[in-house]
């Protein structure tokens, strides 16, 4: 097992738009300048106000490699704040493109270890996950079996047959679709099994069934795990603390297949939706977020409930997808989102406001005010009483944003701008990017 030293790096990346689909975001974004906030001075004034630190959430990645050194499973883990036991496991598809610009070839991250070694793999996973990784391990099948041994047998339900092809090209079925009870060694075998005839989406579903079973087996935490209160100093200590408390698994990051000129070699490679990645990571690990874009960094607070969203006539939205929509608009405009909260913390009342509130230290100029209105509809500007690390602007989503999204959905349905002229609607809320 190879472990790399902890480090913090801020990678400068260019998000390459791999595909944009209309889902109903503001038609105005079809002609809204991508550098609309680039020259904004909001949030840059040197004013001393109390800073609210983000909780400590150490991060790590487990990269599983097979005998051919292909990466067959990726899991980014974030330690829970407060107790430092348990946390969140985010499954990363190994067919996600590692391209960082429009000019880069779209090659799956599964090949990163072969072509770039441990350093190359770490850099690519940090870029894909949008977080700095404090600890990591590149684990063989035997290594994984050792790591999973304290967990015990895993009760899994495979959605697809687990198939494998050896180095001589002989294929076999390791497990049929359906329920199975796996030892640590068998679970490790599933994580390294690979069949060139099976698309990654099929493999990934089986890999994720192992992660789900892991969380269920860990339950409230392994009593035998040495999960001391002190912060971990290496990957093994991190894993001990991670397994020492409840583990939640996020299996919803998926790729969109790249075709045509974006994938001339017809590889099994796809693009990750960066807004979805940022939504997850900025919620569970704000202190570890990478801010790759050249513009300002935002914190988003959205306390709206699913019931309130549905009552506004947004049947295809949830509160979470509404937050993702806000994030996508900012990413589309080359800004950063480093913190996302489902609770209202910055507003003194702690309740959802009627009108979206933008907290910024600087006086907002008329042109900047117009920019924010184009993003969120009616807004109110306030000076913050507290600050957050690396955050320039805090946006507290109000109920007015629901009406704005509904209006834009209706406008996009008829394909027109607010002044009634025809336009091509660009919807960043469904944009897929290679990062």
Ordered by start, the domain boundaries in the chain are 7-53+273-434, 59-253
Structure pTM? 0.85
- CA–CA gap between residue 233 and residue 134 (Å, rounded): 9
Give pLDDT tens digits for 398-408. Answer: 999 999 999 88
Q: Are 219 and 246 in contact (CB under 8 A)?
A: yes
Q: What is the pLDDT of residue 266?
A: 92
Work out whether strand 379-382 and strand 356-359 pair parallel, antiparallel, or are unpaired: parallel
pLDDT-above-90 percentage for the chain: 66
The stretch 47-56 carries a mean pLDDT of 89
Mean pLDDT across 78-82: 93
Cβ proximity of 291 and 10 under 8 Å: yes
Q: Give mean pLDDT, residues 7-30.
A: 36
Does residue 293 register a pLDDT over 50?
yes
What are the DSSP calls for 40-63, one per residue? Answer: --TT-S-----B-PPPP--EEEEE
**pLDDT attached to residue 233:** 93
Residue 415's pLDDT is: 52
What pLDDT does residue 227 have? Answer: 57
**What is the predicted pLDDT for the residue at 6?**
39
Contact 306, 319 (CB under 8 A): yes
DSSP SS3 for 97: strand
| DSSP per position, 274-305 | HHHHHHHHHHH-GGGB---SSS-EEEEE----
pLDDT tens sequence across 256-279: 999 999 989 999 999 999 999 999
What's the pLDDT score for residue 45?
Answer: 53
367 burial class (0-12, 13-18, 19+ CB within 10 angstroms)?
exposed
- Mean pLDDT along residues 367-382: 87
Local confidence band at 3 (pLDDT 50, 70, 90 cut-offs): low
Dihedral angle at the C-alpha atoms of 423, 426, 427, 431, nearest 10 degrees?
Answer: 160
Task: Identify the band that residue 186 occupies on the pLDDT scale cut at 50, 70 and 90.
Answer: very high
Q: Which is more confidently placed, 197 or 76?
A: 76
Read off the pLDDT band of 307 (50, 70, 90): very high
177: its two tokens: 């679709």
Average pLDDT, the chain: 84
Range from 6-15, 266-275, 365-374 carrying the lowest mean pLDDT: 6-15
Average pLDDT rounded to a whole number, residues 411-430 = 42
Percent of the chain with pLDDT over 70: 83
**Lowest-confidence segment of 126-135, 137-146, 165-174, 226-235 by average pLDDT:** 226-235
Task: With cut-offs at 50, 70 and 90, classify the pLDDT of residue 82.
Answer: confident
Looking at residue 414, what is its pLDDT? 61
Confidence at residue 409, expressed as pLDDT on a 0 to 100 scale: 84
Range of lowest pLDDT (21-25, 209-213, 244-248, 296-300): 21-25
- Average pLDDT on 274-295 reads 94
Architecture of domain 59-253: 3-Layer(aba) Sandwich (3.40)
Contact status, residue 283 vs residue 46, Cβ threshold 8 Å: no
* Residues with Cβ within 8 Å of residue 267, at least 6 apart in sequence: 106, 107, 108
| pLDDT at residue number 285 | 97
Q: Would you state the pLDDT for residue 224?
A: 58
pLDDT at position 197 is: 87
Under the banding of pLDDT at 50, 70 and 90, the label for residue 179 is very high
pLDDT single digits (tens) 321-361: 999 999 998 998 889 999 999 999 999 999 999 999 999 98
**What would the two tokens of residue 46 be?**
């040197």
pLDDT over 90 (residue 4): no
Q: How confident is the model at residue 429 (pLDDT cuts 50, 70, 90)?
A: very low
H helix runs in 261-388, sequence order: 274-284, 306-311, 319-332, 366-376
Q: What is the mean pLDDT of residues 14-27?
A: 35
The stretch 356-379 carries a mean pLDDT of: 86
């Amino acid at each position: 097992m190879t472990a790399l030293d902890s480090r913090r790096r801020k990678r400068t990346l260019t998000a390459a738009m791999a595909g944009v689909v209309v889902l109903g975001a503001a038609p105005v974004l079809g002609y809204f300048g991508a550098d609309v906030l680039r020259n904004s001075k909001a949030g840059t004034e040197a004013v001393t106000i109390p800073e609210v630190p983000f909780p400590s959430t150490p991060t790590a990645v487990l990269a599983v490699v097979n005998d051919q050194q292909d990466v067959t499973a990726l899991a980014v883990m974030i330690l829970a704040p407060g107790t430092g036991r348990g946390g969140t496991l985010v499954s990363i598809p190994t067919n996600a493109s590692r391209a960082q610009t429009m000019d880069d070839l779209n090659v799956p991250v599964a090949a990163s270890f072969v072509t770039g070694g441990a350093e190359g793999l770490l850099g690519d996973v940090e870029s894909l996950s949008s977080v700095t990784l404090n600890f990591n391990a590149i684990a063989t099948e035997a290594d994984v079996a050792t790591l999973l041994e304290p967990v015990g047998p895993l009760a899994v339900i495979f959605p697809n047959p687990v198939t494998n092809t050896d180095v001589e090209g002989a294929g076999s079925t390791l497990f049929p679709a359906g329920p199975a009870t796996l030892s640590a060694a068998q679970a490790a075998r599933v994580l390294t099994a690979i069949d060139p005839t099976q698309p990654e989406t099929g493999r990934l579903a089986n890999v994720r069934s192992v992660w789900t079973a892991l969380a269920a087996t860990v339950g409230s935490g392994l009593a035998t795990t040495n999960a001391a209160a002190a912060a971990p100093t290496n990957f093994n200590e991190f894993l001990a603390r991670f397994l020492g408390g409840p583990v939640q698994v996020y299996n919803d990051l998926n790729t969109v297949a790249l075709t045509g000129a974006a994938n001339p070699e017809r590889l099994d490679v796809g693009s990750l939706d960066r807004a979805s990645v940022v939504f997850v990571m900025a919620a569970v690990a704000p202190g570890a977020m990478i801010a790759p874009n050249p513009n300002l960094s935002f914190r988003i607070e959205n306390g709206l409930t699913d019931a309130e969203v549905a009552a506004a006539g947004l049947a295809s939205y949830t509160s979470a997808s509404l937050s993702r929509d806000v994030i996508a608009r900012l990413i589309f405009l080359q800004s950063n989102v480093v913190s996302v909260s489902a609770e209202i913390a910055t507003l003194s009342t702690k309740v959802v406001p009627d009108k979206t509130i933008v907290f910024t230290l600087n006086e907002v100029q008329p042109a900047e005010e117009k920019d924010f209105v184009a993003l969120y509809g009616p807004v109110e500007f306030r000076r913050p009483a507290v600050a957050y690390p690396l955050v320039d602007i805090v946006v507290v989503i109000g109920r007015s944003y629901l009406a704005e999204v509904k209006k834009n959905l209706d406008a996009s349905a008829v394909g027109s701008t607010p002044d009634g002229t025809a336009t091509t609607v660009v919807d960043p809320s469904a944009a897929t990017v290679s990062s």
